Amino acid sequence: MKSLKYTFFTTISLCLFIHTTTPAQQWVNPNYDNHRLDCRDLGYPSQNMIPADNSYITSLLSHSNGLIYGATSGKTQSYLFLYYKYVNKVRPLGKIADQKGVHHGLLEGKDGEIYIGTGLNMFAPVKLTKDFPVQKFAIENQLWKDICAPYADYDGGHIYRYIPKTGDVRRYKIEDPCPVEDLGIPVPKNTIYAMTMNPKKTIIYGITYPEAHFFVFDIASKKTRDIGDFLGKKVYNGPERHWRTVPRALYCDPETGYVYTSGNNGFIFRFNPITDKFEKTKIRLPGEYWERLKSEDYPVVEFFDTDCEGNLYAATNDGYLIKICLETEDRIVLGKPRVMRRCRAMKVGKDHKIYMITGELDKICKLHTYDLAEKGGFTELGLFAVDRSPYYQENAFSLDCMAIGTDGTVFCGESDRRGKLYLYIPGSDTFKGDYNPTNPVIQRMDYDTPALIPESL
């Protein structure tokens, strides 16, 4: 009798467990048609796949040849890769010298070459000191020492040049080096944190971390002018409190040649290439400031991008999206799609929408859009959840970069130890203007070699 009661109780409990847990298995996204989201491994397992712990995707570039290039960061090694749309796969392109990280550091040159700014892995944990003297600004002073410690014996981030026309046609094993040309170290003992180019694509402007130096690199002469720390004050606005608050983006105005970024007290500053000096504008980023707080800090720009009409947009570490008018030095706050801080990536799509990845470090990221049409407003597309059962299921929580393909596909890079490239294909009803996703004009690569579909794929 006791055994019968036990069996009955077990059966009822199991039925209740199945009933209550079954709905939780459907973790696909309810906010859009789920076939529009997919992901790709960074190579083939046991052949050329970029290994775990070195596959944090931290930079993406949409190239004029129609391909998507990306770079990873990791514990021991950084890799370059491309997404080859003609076979729908990712191809690793080898190790980027002996570098460990690339942070928002891919640019396309005037002849299609790719410039890569490297450094240490920004996701490496910072060893914080527990015991230190109690004095004024004791926490800030000790935090700065801890942040600088990994850079004490570091030579500095390099600028490399990669030629797609010759590099893409090769087949790479995972141990093979990427065929890059070393152009030198712009600022010693610093990671290259953000880069942009002048309109003629002869000069690279960059920001370094942790010392926040602004540099001007002449591509032809391979010489650097170090303008120095343009911020001056060291603040830790977060949301990653163990990082110094340094802007993660630069924008070069194609009309004037001025280089814009954010600076002290949350104001937008511009670098004048004629005077080699920074000038403060009247534009100030929205966010929390220190007037009634014990710590002094301010927000910074995470990303800049422009729409097809040349309008400039910026996203901040507080998670705000703003529209900037450089001529009148004014800005319009478009809003904040999420209570959680930080915009991890932002790009203007080909469907008159701005795409944003939101979420703090070690939190769950979500994909949002802002409609640039008259109605405006944010739309949450939700989590990065891919369900291709029974073949594979993937769920990304941390993503840090984005690129828009020539056909409007939104590429998002997962910044995790087994990073994958996520692809979101917008619905056909969202496209406006001359773009037609049902009949895209695909330009094949204008290389001297045919088709370039590697045998390894």
Q: Under CATH, to which class is 33-430 assigned? A: mainly beta
Structure token pair of residue 18:
């199945």
Q: CA 278, CA 292: separation in Å to the nearest integer?
A: 29
pLDDT given at position 67: 96
What distance in Å separates the CA atoms of residue 119 and residue 178, rounded to the nearest whole number?
Answer: 16
Cα separation, 230 vs 292, in Å, equals 26
CA distance readout (Å), 354 to 124, 237, 382, 405: 30, 25, 15, 14
pLDDT tens track for 29-66: 777 777 899 999 999 988 899 999 999 999 999 999 99
> Residue 185: which residues within 8 A CB-CB, separation 6 or more?
155, 156, 157, 158, 159
pLDDT (tens digit per residue) in 252-311: 999 999 999 999 999 999 999 999 999 999 999 998 776 666 667 899 999 999 999 999
Please give the C-alpha separations between residue 219 and each of 108, 160, 314, in angstroms, as whole numbers: 13, 11, 27
- Tell me how long the chain is: 457
Q: What are phi and psi of 4, to 5 degrees?
A: -65, -45
What string of pLDDT tens digits covers the 457 residues of the chain?
A: 445 444 444 444 444 444 444 444 456 677 777 789 999 999 998 889 999 999 999 999 999 999 999 999 999 999 999 999 999 999 999 999 999 999 999 999 999 999 999 999 999 999 999 988 888 788 888 999 999 999 999 999 999 999 999 999 999 999 999 999 999 999 999 999 999 999 999 999 999 999 999 999 999 999 999 999 999 889 998 888 789 999 999 999 999 999 999 999 999 999 999 999 999 999 999 987 766 666 678 999 999 999 999 999 999 999 999 999 999 999 999 999 999 899 999 999 999 999 999 999 888 999 999 999 877 899 999 899 998 888 988 999 999 999 999 999 999 999 999 999 999 999 754 444 343 444 333 333 333 333 344 444 4
Q: How far is CA 134 from CA 131, 140, 170, 361, in A?
A: 9, 11, 58, 29
CA pair distance 219, 102, nearest whole angstrom: 19
Q: Are 367 and 31 in contact (CB under 8 A)?
A: no
Closest CA to 209 of 397, 92, 365, 58: 58
Q: What global pTM score does this model have? A: 0.88
Q: What span, in angstroms and rounded, lies between the C-alpha atoms of 50 and 92?
A: 7
Contact (CB, 8 A) for 337 and 306: no
